[in-house]
Amino acid sequence: MSYCLNPSCSKPQNPNNAKFCSTCGSRLLLGDRYRALRLISRGGIGRTFLAVDEQQANKPHCVIKQFPIQNQGTNNTKKATELFRQEAVRLQDLGQHPQIPQFLAYFEPNSQVGLGAIPTVVQTYIEGQSLAKQLEANGAFSETQIRQVLTQLLPVLHFVHSRQIIHRDINPNNIICCTKGGEQLMLVDFSTAKFTSKTALAKTGTVIGSAAYASQEQLMGKAVTSSDLYSLGITCIHLLTDIHPFDLFNSLEGVWVWQDYLTQPVSDELRQILNKMLVSAVKHRYQSAMEILQ
């Protein structure tokens, strides 16, 4: 099946090899190359599709992400195009890391007939299972597994942060255990990423991310690099306990009670590391991924 990328299309499903949507007439091949197969997710940030690259003989899977412009108009579209171009360059750089999906292409607003002002990026599709799915299937993680999560992801965050980028949506759904090449963890979905440099994107003050895993400063639209470390800490205690993060915090006393829900004890070292990652005050939290690794 081919899926029409026009968000206004009332019947987006089309035959496999169709070139134009039978309902709205939009082109079905993005850049005459990428064909959307189905909608994976839809949210406030935009829409994500599973797609194939039809220019390659084996037609490998890829992912198409759309980021609609909220307030359209000549000035807004021009500004959004420039910001999107900057973001695309950063995402392309991130894709050089082996644990981040490779950046394949981007399309600026109005560059695609029938799609209107919709910035769009294409990235490699990661085959594997999210940590959320693994938790659902196998139950609470062991300390050994949590140490593997930290050992594999902290260097990735160091790489990301060294490029003045904050992920802003680290949670079990956005960490994929890749089925190719062993048990390597991949950090996905940089659609909410924010630049820490002094650009217009860094000044938006937008509250983005999954609330259950977000720090207080991020919820106030002021995310910093250690906000990602906080989110990774929340992810770890969720995986350790198989309890939703909201239920691991005593709001009356303002303290984390995740240790009360452990199915098996953890070492003092891991407990201290996680508790420091979860400190509310930014200045008392770990300031960098490398600090935790040391």
- State the Cα–Cα distance between residues 157 and 144, nearest whole angstrom: 20
* b/e code 90-124 from CB counts within 10 Å (16+ = b): bbbebbebebbbbbbbbbbbeebebbbbbbbbbbb
Angle, helices 225-241 vs 131-138, to 10°: value is 20
* b/e code 154-190 from CB counts within 10 Å (16+ = b): bebbbbbbeeebbbbbbbbbbbbbbeeeeeebbbbbb
16 Cβ contact partners less than 8 Å away, ≥ 6 residues apart: 1, 2
Angle, helices 225-241 vs 268-277, to 10°: value is 130
The catalytically annotated residue of 32, 93, 169, 268 is 169
Direct distance between the N- and C-terminal alpha carbons of the chain, in angstroms, rounded to an integer: 50
Specify the DSSP class assigned to residue 83.
H
3-state secondary structure of 88: helix
200 Cβ contact partners less than 8 Å away, ≥ 6 residues apart: 79, 83
Helices (H) and strands (E) in the chain, counts: 7, 15
Contact 202/194 with Cβ under 8 angstroms?
yes
| CB burial of residue 243 (10 Å; 0-12, 13-18, 19+) | middle
Instruction: Verify whether residue 228 is a known catalytic residue.
Output: no
Where is 164: in which H helix or E strand? Answer: none
Report the catalytic residues: 169
